[in-house]
Amino acid sequence: MRTAIVTDSTAYITPEERARLNIRMIPLSVNIAGELFAEEIDITASEFYDKVRGAKEFPKTTQPPVGEFASLFEQLAKDYDEVVSIHLSSGISGTYQGAVQAGEMVDNIDVYSFDSEISCAVQGFYVLRAAEMAAEGFSAKDILAALADMQQYIRAYFIVDDLAHLQRGGRLSAAAALIGGLLQVKPVLHFVDKVIVPFEKIRTRKKALKRAEELLAQDASKYEAMDAAVIHGNCQTEAEEWMAQLAASYPNVNFKLSYFGPVIGTHLGEGAMGLGWTKK
């Protein structure tokens, strides 16, 4: 079976990894003061944060058009028998649903869409595993079974500097933010049932990062080897220092540095920090 792997830009897989593992990427876009930019193509993360810092109008995000998925699937049908298309959580974006619809529109290739129920480098863990399996000749059904199994080992926690971005974009309910006065603290956030919810209320950024580390430590002591990602919203130096400290403390964990690009940055704001991992 020849299986193609597709994902969207919010997995923030580097162009080198995409080329090496033959991963196709469809971008989501940001609308900045009426101008549309496809992330990872028209605008880099740091250009985005520079453009929107202090701007009067807040940016907005849009999912890829269904037609873009459909034409990619049509094109892949020339060389592949099936497609596994892996996307950010359907609880925060219509992208997954768009891939499902496009898959139903094309009849010369079987398309299997996968809802990662998460996003960013953590979604990327699924994509990389799928691409490695596809390169080894596994079928879409085998790959989907492996991804479903991975789901029990995937964890991600993140903190933001200002919850207003998440509230404004409708990705954290006003009720959730207000209950317990979340606006006054630095809550650790995570995904439950595809949507973002507070995990714990913590007073300071330092303590919130420490708490994320404790959660990683629990799994690192259970599993022989893990992959992890430190994910930052334009605070690379802090993220690199944190990652170096984590790498020294957890030698069985393979860390990588990643970022919240323009689309996710629109909803989290500058200064967000995340830690995600999975058992190897």
Residues at the interface with ligand MYR (CB under 6 A): 28, 61-63, 92-95, 118-120, 122, 156, 158, 171, 231, 263-264, 267-268, 274, 276
Report the nearest approach of ligand MYR to the CB of residue 103 (Å).
Answer: 18
Q: Is the CB of 77 or the CB of 122 nearer to ligand MYR? A: 122
Residue whose Cβ sits closest to ligand MYR: 93
Smallest distance, ligand MYR to C-beta of residue 98, A = 9
Query: Closer CB to ligand MYR, residue 77 or residue 253?
Result: 253
From the CB of 82, what's the least distance to ligand MYR, in Å? 25
- Choose between 30 and 83: whose C-beta lies nearer to ligand MYR: 30
CB 205 within 8 A of CB 261: no
Kindly list the strands in the beta sheet with 273-279, ordered across the sheet, starting from the edge strand earlier in the chain. 195-200, 188-192, 155-159, 273-279, 226-232, 253-259
For residues 119 and 234, which CB has a smaller minimum distance to ligand MYR in the complex? 119
CB of residue 118 vs ligand MYR: minimum separation in angstroms?
A: 6
Smallest distance from ligand MYR to CB 204, Å: 20
Tell me whether residue 183 or residue 197 sits nearer to ligand MYR (CB atom). 197
* Minimum CB distance to ligand MYR, residue 158 (Å): 5
Phi and psi dihedrals of 111, rounded to 5? -110, 125
What string of DSSP letters covers the chain? --EEEEEEGGG---HHHHHHHTEEEE--EEEETTEEEEBTTTB-HHHHHHHHTT-SSPPEEEPPPHHHHHHHHHHHTTT-SEEEEEES-TTT-SHHHHHHHHHHH--SSEEEEEE-SS-HHHHHHHHHHHHHHHHTT--HHHHHHHHHHHGGG-EEEEE-S-THHHHHTTSS-HHHHHTTTGGGS--EEEEETTEEEEEE--SSHHHHHHHHHHHHHHHHHHSS-EEEEEEESS-HHHHHHHHHHHHHH-TTEEEEEEE--HHHHHHH-TT-EEEEEEE-
C-beta of 19: minimal distance to ligand MYR in Å?
Answer: 24
Kindly report the length of the chain. 280
Q: Which is nearer to ligand MYR, 103 or 274 (CB)?
A: 274
Nearer to ligand MYR, 42 or 142 (CB): 42
